[in-house]
Amino acid sequence: MNFMFNKNLDKSLLAIYNILCDDRGGSMIIDLKKVFVNEGFSLPIEYELDMSKEEFSGVFPLITPVKFNGTVSNKASLVGLNAQITYDYSADCDRCGKQVVHSHSIVVEKDLAPSIEGEENERIILVPDMKLDLGQLVFTEVVTSLPMKHLCDENCKGLCPKCGKNLNEGDCGCPKKEIDPRLQALADLLK
Ligand SMILES: [Zn+2]
Ligand SMILES: [Zn+2]
């Protein structure tokens, strides 16, 4: 279960992942024996994983199926996986609350090995019996790449702390800064 993780991965995230994987997450076993025994052989793989029922921080952000597009190939008896995973992430902007969808793309480059000799390495995926659980791989890659911040725009102005108006739609007219009460007293005197 832990073969795809390296020691640097946040432990809390790993814990979440283990819980999710017990009864959620996908399972899609791909038999790679043909690739392992045939030097020069390439196997293109297209796969979609529905993660729309996966909850993250109280929301269900993966509204469309996650797409996997890749190739497993045997080059000089080294079996490697090159793939791209794309998904749409829908969530409310952290500053203004507007719902926005962003597309994310992850490049996955791994070496596949039926057993590991020597040091464990985050680049290596262990595939016992030459079988890869692609569903689990995609699930893990997506979960570990979910954005921590979500903004409708880098320059989102957010909401006015006083009146709650979305400042991207224009100024609300509230005073920009709290006036120092001593200055306010002075201003009152000068009226
Ligand atoms: Zn915003
Ligand atoms: Zn305001």
**Closest ligand, as measured to the CA of 169:** 1
Q: How confident is the model at residue 65 (pLDDT cuts 50, 70, 90)?
A: very high
- For residue 110, what are the CA distances in angstroms to 3, 73, 81, 82? 12, 11, 5, 7
pTM here is 0.73
**Closest ligand, as measured to the CA of 91:** 1
pLDDT, position 178 = 63
Q: What is the pLDDT of residues 177-187, one digit of tens each?
A: 666 777 777 77
Tokens of 90: 């829908």
Ligand 1 centroid, distance to 52 Cα (angstroms): 23
Lowest mean pLDDT among 17-21, 41-45, 63-67: 17-21
**Closest ligand, as measured to the CA of 152:** 1
The tally of CA atoms less than 13 A away on the side-chain side of residue 36 is 15
Distance of alpha carbon 74 from alpha carbon 121, whole angstroms = 19
Ligand 2 centroid, distance to 168 Cα (angstroms): 12
pLDDT of 2 higher than 50: no
Q: Which residues neighbour ligand 1 (ion) by CB within 5 Å?
A: 93, 95-96, 152, 156
Distance of alpha carbon 38 from alpha carbon 104, whole angstroms = 34
- Residue (of 165, 32, 177) closest to 110 by Cα position: 32
Ligand 2 centroid, distance to 57 Cα (angstroms): 29
